[in-house]
Amino acid sequence: MTMNCRFFGWLAAATVALNLGGALSASAQTQDGDEHKSVNAEELQQSSGKHNLLAMASVPVAATSEPAAAPPSGGSAFNWTGFYVGGHFGRGMGHANMKVDPLPSAAQFVNLSTQSLHTDPSGKLGGIQGGFNLQRGPVVYGIETDYSFSDMNGTKVISPIVQNNGTPFPGTGTGTANSITSHQDTDWIGTLRLRIGVTPISKLLLYGTGGLAYGHVTYFATTDFTPVGTERYPAFADKTMGGWCAGTGAEYGIQRHFTARFEYLFYDLGSEILTAKPIPPLPPFGIRYTWATQGQIVRGGFNFKF
């Protein structure tokens, strides 16, 4: 009995010792594993840090020293390229000298000398224009056409008539007798021009322009005097004339699609020659009237740019 008790006591002690040894061994392995994992994590962190340092060291110095790009500005330079249409209003001032030549000559005509009348028509004008611009850097090229209604007109009267010997023709007659009358009227005028200019600042265009000019002009003249009875030498023409024009101007961009402008043009529509036969007929006498159709235009306006 005593022996059995001792045997079971030793067996229980051995079992406890085995269990305790297994637990201690498992704990030791766990601690070793944790320490191994900790060592691996530290090595991984150190390795990652080294790679980051190497990556930073491999960046070129120029790239790291380059300043950051500036953000885009809120505005932009004015662009003149594109089609546009607009309107204008101004004034025309003509240089319409009319020359009077007695036929067949002043000496043979006796009573009338060669002389000139300055009709100089002037008046308001207004109309529309349209064109296209192409900008290359500060230089702007373009083509433009315009059409203006006009009330430019002028009349000049010389009385009394100056005779070939330089003295006034005697007598006054009645009505328009003993006088020379010249009249010129421009109903409308148009142009087709090239433009070239520069932009000292992006919104300001300074340009020169030149090209074709054309217009509808009415001419009228008469010479009335009474050497014996009443003699009249009337002439009349109503036609479209063509010529050239040139000038300069300035245009300013108010907004993206709107511009304001001021322009000066000189135009020359050529000459008109009319020969008048006397009423009543008195061959071979006559009078040749020669009109110069020139003038200046000063106008302001606006454009809408597409």
Segment 223-236, tens digit of pLDDT: 887 655 568 899 99
Higher-pLDDT residue of 303, 227: 303
The count of other CB atoms within 10 Å of the CB of residue 1 is 5
Last residue of a domain, one of 17, 32, 63: 63
pLDDT given for residue 164 in this prediction: 81
Predicted confidence (pLDDT) at residue 185 exceeds the cutoff of 70: yes
pTM above threshold 0.85: no
Residue 57: pLDDT over 50: no
Q: Report if residue 74 sits inside a domain.
A: no
With contact defined as beta carbons under 8 Å apart, do 252 and 206 qualify? no
Cα separation, 81 vs 83, whole angstroms: 7
Q: CA–CA separation, 86 vs 301, rounded Å?
A: 7
Q: What gap in Å lies between CA 25 and CA 222, rounded to an integer?
A: 141
- Distance, in Å, from the CA atom of 278 to the CA atom of 202, rounded to the nearest integer, reads 63
The answer as to whether 72 is a domain residue is no
> Same structural domain for residues 102 and 205?
yes
Nearest partner of 287 among 144, 113, 163, judged by Cα: 113
Does a structural domain hold residue 241?
yes
Q: How confident is the model at residue 171 (pLDDT cuts 50, 70, 90)?
A: low
- Assign 179 a pLDDT band (cuts: 50, 70, 90): confident
140 Cβ partners below 8 Å, 6+ apart? 80, 133, 134, 195, 196, 197, 198, 199, 205, 207
124 falls within a domain: yes
Mean pLDDT across 69-82: 64
The answer to whether position 71 is within a domain reads no
Query: Based on the domain organization, do 103 and 225 belong to the same domain?
Result: yes
| Across 26-46, average pLDDT | 42
d(CA 56, CA 52): 6
Domain of 286?
82-305
Work out how many domains the chain is built from and give that number. Answer: 2
pLDDT, average across residues 263-291: 91
Residue 162 belongs to domain with CATH number: 2.40.160
Over residues 89-147, the pLDDT tens digits come to: 999 998 888 999 999 988 888 778 888 999 889 999 999 999 999 999 999 999 999 99
pLDDT, tens only, 214-226: 999 999 999 887 6
pLDDT of residue 176: 62
Q: Is residue 30 part of a domain?
A: yes
Tokens representing 268 are 């020359």
Beta strands 139-158 and 97-103, pairing class: unpaired
How confident is residue 292, by pLDDT bands cut at 50, 70 and 90?
Answer: very high
- Cα(186)–Cα(154) distance, rounded to whole angstroms? 9
E-strand ranges in 226-285 read: 231-232, 235-253, 258-276
